[in-house]
Structure 1
Amino acid sequence: MPAGVNPELFIEHVSREFTAPDGSVVHALSDVSLSIYPGELVSIIGPSGCGKTTLLRLIAVLDHPQSGTLNLAGEPIEGPNPKRGYVFQQGSLFPWLTVEENIAFGLKAQGIYKEHKADVARYIEMVGLHGFEQAYPHQISGGMAQRVAIARALIDHPDVLLLDEPMGALDSFTRADLQDRLLDIWEQYHMTMILVTHDVDEAIYLGSRVVIMTPRPGRIKEIVPINLDARDRVSDEFAAYRKQLLTKLHFDAREEHAGDAFVGDAQELLPNETPVDKED
């Protein structure tokens, strides 16, 4: 990053543990430190269960670390805030609300819908949902539902947009279209975005940096800057980045213990699984 630019998001020595059903301790994250700068689109990739989603949940304050600190714009992150938008793996839409009503839900809850009605229309257009404003979630495709979720997160004009594999369940054509729309939004608004993905090509195509995490306990193995003149998936430069990342991820996968019985990030925990309390 340019000299003198301060990180927008500063994560320092963060660790998180959980208790599995058999009583064993699962080390989801261990001593993770990461600086993310204003206007970056950072991709996070790593083996399943390495803590990628857990890290996003900590940033969103949907969970809390055992140790370490998280700061946004120089202030401790202490509670949920609309300035940190979150898009889940599934659209998580309200089935009784229309596309337009889902996007405007937060504005109406705050009593500011009338002042921002034009924003709702603008984001509907931006994510390619014009003409579907009055459709209900059961009447639209999975890709369209994810567009609704993205527009709903954007409507509060967040400083940081957290994207937890929002395209993971989509077909390749829908995924490519949504990737391009995300890039357009990022380039237009210079918004800081953090994307969790299992897809190496997606991490390269969208990311200005790719953060590679190790198998559990999740640590940052390496950060790879992505310098592509054009987002061209078939260029020699793109292929070189793909080979570099796949080589590192394959090596990590071989290091992972084959006997691990408990696999998954925080969101995969069952209801009876509890976090490990910090020792006094």
Structure 2
Amino acid sequence: MAFIIFDLEFNQDISTLQNFDRERVRYPFEIIQIGAIKLDTELNTQGKFNHYIKPTFYARMNPLVSELTGITIEQLLAGEPFPEIYQAYTTFIDETDSILCTWGMSDITELFRNVEYHGLDQTRLPRRVIDLQFYVSEQFNRPRKNRLRLQHAVELLNIPITHPFHNALNDAYYTAEVFKKVYKASMQPKLYDPSQKTIRPRVAKRVIDFDQLLRQFEKMYTRKMTEEEQEMIKLAYKMGRTNQFTKEVTVSTP
């Protein structure tokens, strides 16, 4: 048994979507990098995994994603397609009774979705999962809707920052270092079922009016937004709602 601490980077550029059944399922967030650290039960590092993935769905990098991650389309085109990387990744994991550890649950969800998109065998992935973001946020008394970002947790735990964030291997490394700092036997993994849909009561909610938002941009720039610009505006809004780019600042009071 081992702990597999992993992180993913994604791309989505809908204007260049290809090789995808648009009617079958929503637009994919395509995995472009997998980074992982394997720890034994004594939390000693047993191996590292780092691969860029040749795109199947999108012909280019979304500029916002490229700026955030530093990943270029040239790097991705030099990699192998997802099925080959998935084979290598499950070989790296080696044991299905291992425990997957992530910062938040989105990477687990998107990993299983990408496996499904490619028609691959999901049973090769462990199902026991530890959401480290949940436990660390609880430790620092953060509310459920404002969980700690990885970088903030690293800073609070006085872990040296030696590499940039938003790289899958680097983020996996930092997550592993956080894991070593806070792990205790009471952190029991939960069984993840990719087929289970969370059922929530229907409630009225406010949603962004993208048509009105785009009209406002067109009014500001006195021209019509191109399709690419429209997708960038929508993606920027969605990424902003994750709170991963917020930071805490000290405000002086008079």
Give the TM-score normalised by structure 1.
Answer: 0.24
* Greater helix share, structure number: 2
Give the TM-score normalised by structure 2.
Answer: 0.25
* Greater strand share, structure number: 1
